[in-house]
Each structure stands twice: as structure tokens, then as C-alpha cells.
Amino acid sequence: MAGLPYIVGNWKMNGTRAMLNEARAIDRAAARFPKVQVAVAPPATLIYRTRDAADIIGVGGQDCHAQESGAFTGDISAVMLKDAGADFTIVGHSERRTIHGETDADVKAKAEAALAAGLGVILCVGETEAQRDAGQAEAVVGAQLEGSCPQTDGAPEKLSVAYEPVWAIGTGRVPSVEDVAAMHKSIRDKLVAIYGEGGAEVRILYGGSVKADNAAELLSVAEVGGALVGGASLTAESFLSIVGAAASLAAD
């Protein structure tokens, strides 16, 4: 898998203009970690201002609509995200899949629209606790990938996949390193099955309760190319401790 470790903060529905101070602090510190690719996905209201406040880090959306424009009240298109200064967008986060009822087909259309607009894509997949307990985790995630990976000629260079077990998001619980390794291998195999050899280059992130004290262990697992971080990305201090852990590993 090519590329620098990618550490992305998902601020979810958190942050008003005061949060730009965190973005500035993250951006300033990112200069000290050239071996790590750092990004944040603030709420859409802050994308433009975050881009303006930060020079080095990536700035992204948390979702996009599949259409370019039209009568979709409250939605934001990938073209609009790009216009606001976004470099990438998250699609298919479990909170979108669950709370907003997004299907794999919806997620696929969003990912394709984002790529067409020139954005990078972080496509989220992950099983529920019941699915894991039933021994279905790899099958569920494999089916999500089959249904939601963008259809392109070869593997999109700007695609990353984030494995986020739903039961680990915001709970303080994380899978064992063995389970993370097994799932990431299974995702890799599926990406190669979908895209051919280019599937070996798609970055696979882990997400779900990544914190300063578990980041190094999780980031050391084979096929883990970075982390999608929710709660611990809301202050520069906690987020940068994860970026620092990635930098130490990248320096080895």
C-alpha cells in the first residue's frame, strides 16, 4: 500500500467559528510531521473558513449529495464542497447509513459524484455488534464494499476505505489487533477482487475510538494505512497526539 499514513479528524456536527483555533493549531503542528498526511472534516459551515485558516492540512466534507444541483433542500453537492475549498469528502459513515437510511447504492452514487468533482473519497464500511457476534462481520463489510465502491476504470487514486466497526464508534471499545488485521486483509482482498491490482494501492483506514493511548498499536497493524478519528479529533491536543503516534511509526 502506497502513501503516507493518513490521519483524518471527523468533527461531525461539532464546531462553530471558535473551533478554527483548533484547526490552526493542527495545521501549524502538521508542519512538524511531514511523514503524515493530516486532514479534518469540519461541519460544512466551516469548510471555507477552515481552508482559509489552514495551509497544510486537508479539509473535507462529511457527506455529499450525488446530484450536482437541484431541489434537494438542505443537501450539499460534491461540486459545492469542492467550490468551498474541500479536498475530499467522507461518504457512507455509519451515522449516515443508520440515521439517514443511506443504502450502498446511495453511497456508491455519492462516491462517484465526489470523484467526478475532483474530490478524494473516504468510503466508510463496518459491521454492527450483532453482525460481529453472529460471525458475519467480514461478509457484511464485503457486501458493503461490493455495493458502495465507486465504479471506475481501475482503482481510483483518490479513494480510501475506512473500516469503522459500528460498535466501536464513540464507545471507547476497539476490536483486538487480530480482528483489525483479519478485517483489513479481507477488505484488501475484496478491493483487489473489485479493482484488480490497483485495489492493492487503495488506502484502508481504521476508525472507531482511536485515542492517543491505542493509536500506535492500531496503526501498526498490517494494512492499516491511517485512522479516521471522531471524538479525539475535537481538540488539537488529543488529535495531534494521534498524529504524533503515526509520525513515530512512519519514522521507524
Q: Which residues are catalytic?
A: 93, 164
Residue among 92 and 195 whose Cβ is closer to ligand PEP: 92
Q: Which residues within the stretch 9-68 sit at the binding site for ligand PEP (CB under 6 A)?
A: 10
**48's grid cell:** 471555507
170 is in an annotated binding site: yes
Distance CA 190, CA 146 (A): 8
Distance CA 189, CA 196 (A): 10
Residue among 14 and 136 whose Cβ is closer to ligand PEP: 14
Distance CA 110, CA 8 (A): 19
Q: Which residue is nearest to ligand PEP (CB)?
A: 230
Q: Which residues within the stretch 199-238 sit at the binding site for ligand PEP (CB under 6 A)?
A: 207-210, 228-232
Residue among 33 and 163 whose Cβ is closer to ligand PEP: 163
On whether the CB atoms of residues 227 and 218 are closer than 8 A, the answer is: yes
Q: Which residues within the stretch 140-199 sit at the binding site for ligand PEP (CB under 6 A)?
A: 164, 169-170
Distance CA 219, CA 227 (A): 7
Q: Which residues within the stretch 93-132 sit at the binding site for ligand PEP (CB under 6 A)?
A: none
CB of 60 vs ligand PEP, minimal distance in Å:
12
74 is in an annotated binding site: no
230 is in an annotated binding site: yes
Distances (CA, A) of 10 to 16, 91, 174, 195, 220: 14, 12, 17, 27, 21
Residue among 152 and 235 whose Cβ is closer to ligand PEP: 235
CB of 6 vs ligand PEP, minimal distance in Å:
13
Distance CA 109, CA 210 (A): 29
Alpha-carbon Rg for the chain, nearest whole angstrom, is: 17
Distance CA 145, CA 108 (A): 9
CB of 58 vs ligand PEP, minimal distance in Å:
16
DSSP 8-state symbol, 91:
E
Residues that bind ligand PEP (CB under 6 A): 10, 164, 169-170, 207-210, 228-232
Binding annotation: 10-12, 170, 209, 230-231
